[in-house]
Amino acid sequence: MGKLDEATAYLSGPMEMVADHGVEWRRRFIRLSNAAGLNIHYIDPTNKPGGEDVKIGEDKETQVRLQSEGRFKELRSYVGDYRRYDLRFVDLSDFLVVVVNPSVAQWGTANEVYFAEMQHKPRFCIIEGGMHKLPRWLFDVFDDNEIFESVEDLIAHLIKLDSGEVELDKRWVLVRKHIRLQQENYKPSPSEQEPSPAPSRMKKFLRHLKFWK
């Protein structure tokens, strides 16, 4: 059983301004993590969990069409829907994996990272060229030892955290596994048994009528 068993991570990074909509690195990260034996759940905003209403932000073509046709109010509503979902997913995550690409705008990524920072969640940065290429503002957002040059480097670090070779600090609040185990092992005492259901209002009324007959 690893230290990170059943942890949940959100995969944050550019989507709108990159050719593949940010799909490839996220799929690769999940694939390598699974191959390394890490029991971590990943929330991928390019493949959101849930029904079609949740997957709304994945439709890049609709957003391009609304903007090109000048349908700005519709676009604002559309973006507002998936922004709410993505920030909620950040809220539910235990830590963030963040790809930073200084050559493109990353407004959504910045929103997600600062939201996670407010909640004191661990945040891991992947940037080609490492700290030499990191935008300077982010030197106060990511810890020095949590900035990596590749997906592989971060996976290697997660393996060390999972094994206990690198200690989890106080930012890590991993409760899902413990809640599940508590629920699975819970046995109510006799005093906690469900009481008999209270008579319905209709039954009380019928007894009242019977009394006065």
Q: Is residue 204 part of a domain?
A: no
Q: Per residue in 116-143, pLDDT tens? A: 999 999 999 999 999 999 999 999 999 9
Q: What domain count does the chain have?
A: 1
Sign, Cα dihedral of 115, 128, 43, 143: negative
Q: Is residue 139 part of a domain?
A: yes
Q: Is residue 136 part of a domain?
A: yes
Q: What does the pLDDT read at residue 213?
A: 46
Q: Is residue 117 part of a domain?
A: yes
| 10/60 Cα distance (integer angstroms) | 20
Q: Is residue 207 part of a domain?
A: no
Q: Is residue 189 part of a domain?
A: no
Q: Is residue 26 part of a domain?
A: yes
Residue 62 burial (CB count, 10 A): 14
Q: Per residue in 82-122, pLDDT tens? A: 899 999 999 999 999 999 999 999 999 999 999 999 999 99
CATH at 166: 3.40.50.450
Instruction: Give 152 or 57, the one with higher predicted confidence.
Output: 152
Where in the sequence is the domain holding 108, given as residue range(s)? Answer: 7-175
Number of alpha helices (DSSP H) and beta strands (DSSP E) in the chain: 7, 5
Q: Is residue 148 part of a domain?
A: yes
pTM equals 0.83
